[in-house]
Amino acid sequence: MRIRILLGFGWALLISLISSNAVGQSTKIASDYPNRTIRLIVPFNAGGPADALARPLAEALNKKYGYQIIIENKPGANTAIGAQYVAKSNADGYTLLFGSDAGMSLAPATQKSLPYNAAKDFSGVSMVAQLTQLLFVSDSFPATSVLELASLAQKSPNSVSYASIGAGSQSHVAIETLSRQLKIKMNHIPYTGATTALTDVVAGNVQVMMSTIAGPLPFIKSGKIRPLALAGPERNKILPNVPTFTEAGVSGFESRGWFGIMAPAKTPPEVINLLSKHIWEIAHSDQYVSQVIEFHGFDIAKVSPKDFPEFLVNDRLKWKNLVDQMGDSLN
């Protein structure tokens, strides 16, 4: 009996020491943070909408708060490559993900297996920006409104083609949802990224696409792409003459997303709190809002760091319910 008591005491002491050591290491990481280079992984191609937000954010954090943040693009597999890399990284705040609804909410709803668990492998740090999807067509396509597009597509099912940045992507789900509402069928042409998809829309090889405003904006300004409607509750300052879907005669249709910073799960709360405070301040600074968010047609983030974790839970549920309702139309 005495031996059992001593063994039990020994195990309890060992567990206590291990726990104390872990807490001590966590506290040390937080108190020293940041003392070396932070890698911000962007799971999209360089030069895209995510880069347009991430690089100025990193520069501002470096300049104002003395961070040393570098951007690393790790695109592929609908953001899964970059997300997996961060999920398996040390939870010390030195490897972060420039996440989005694409990888954190939509991918879990559309893909049967992922190399990461969006709900368990990440901690939400801060939302950076929100976005509204834009429906647009090639300038050579005759439709000048959403209802004209619907009319043309209804006359000849699958004669109109639309581009997406990949099967199961937000652009794919958005147009399939719209097609169901308009009771039309269009031919889906999936691409591996926004650049190649936009190139074919500009060339007239594909007629229709939906994406963030940032990508097609230069082509809209040059007259090579015609915007039809914004899938949000209000117009955007950068495209004041483009109506919302409600204004265009299609009520109830919205397709919105977000970009934000994610850290590996179990990152010390003190590190998360410091990062979220500084990122939120930069993302809402006058300079960042005017020169980055509004300049590229994004929306100011309205979900605070405190509410971000709960938002992520609800966002995953929203996309899962939507994808479940669509069934085979996404295949």
pLDDT digits (tens, 9 = 90+) for 44-87: 988 888 999 999 999 999 999 999 999 999 998 889 999 999 99
- Domain span at residue 119 reads 35-130+257-330
Average pLDDT, the chain: 90
Distance CA 100, CA 104 (A): 6
User: How sure is the predictor about 26, in pLDDT bands with cuts at 50, 70 and 90?
Assistant: very low
Token readout for 247 is: 């204004």
Question: Does residue 175 share a domain with residue 146?
Answer: yes
Question: Residue 297: left (phi > 0), alpha (psi -120 to 50), or beta?
Answer: left
Q: Any idea what the CATH number is for the domain that residue 203 is in?
A: 3.40.190.10
246: in domain: no
Question: Does residue 163 share a domain with residue 102?
Answer: no
pLDDT exceeds cutoff 70 at 139: yes
Q: Please tell me which residue, 322 or 314, carries the higher pLDDT value.
A: 314
Lowest mean pLDDT among 76-80, 123-127, 210-214, 304-308: 76-80
What is the percent of the chain with per-residue pLDDT over 90, rounded to a whole number?
Answer: 79
pLDDT reported for residue 141: 97
pLDDT digits (tens, 9 = 90+) for 226-260: 999 999 999 999 999 999 999 999 999 999 999 99
Question: Which pTM was predicted?
Answer: 0.84
147: in domain: yes
Question: Does residue 141 share a domain with residue 70?
Answer: no
pLDDT reported for residue 15: 47
**Contact (CB, 8 A) for 157 and 184:** yes
Residue 264, strand partner residues: 122
81: in domain: yes
pLDDT exceeds cutoff 90 at 146: yes
Residue 41, strand partner residues: 72, 97
Question: Does residue 125 share a domain with residue 273?
Answer: yes
Say how many Å lie between the first and final Cα of the chain, rounded.
Answer: 65
DSSP 8-state secondary structure symbol assigned to residue 228: E
Q: Please tell me which residue, 331 or 138, carries the higher pLDDT value.
A: 138
Q: Which residues contact 194 (CB under 8 A, 6 or more apart)?
A: 45, 48, 49, 165, 211, 215
Tell which of 171, 195, 230 closes a domain. Answer: 230
20: in domain: no
pLDDT reported for residue 137: 98
Nearest Cα residue to 81 out of 49, 34, 120, 41:
41
2: in domain: no
pLDDT reported for residue 112: 84
For range 173-194, the mean pLDDT:
93
Q: Please tell me which residue, 3 or 138, carries the higher pLDDT value.
A: 138
pLDDT exceeds cutoff 60 at 200: yes
pLDDT digits (tens, 9 = 90+) for 93-121: 999 999 999 999 999 998 889 999 999 99
The total number of structural domains that make up the chain: 2
For residues 50, 56, 61, 63, the Cα torsion angle rounded to the nearest 10 degrees is 160
Question: Does residue 166 share a domain with residue 126?
Answer: no
Residue type, 29: I
Distance CA 210, CA 172 (A): 8
pLDDT reported for residue 306: 97
Q: Any idea what the CATH number is for the domain that residue 295 is in?
A: 3.40.190.150
Q: Which residues contact 116 (CB under 8 A, 6 or more apart)?
A: 80, 83, 84, 87, 88, 122
For range 34-47, the mean pLDDT:
94
pLDDT exceeds cutoff 70 at 22: no
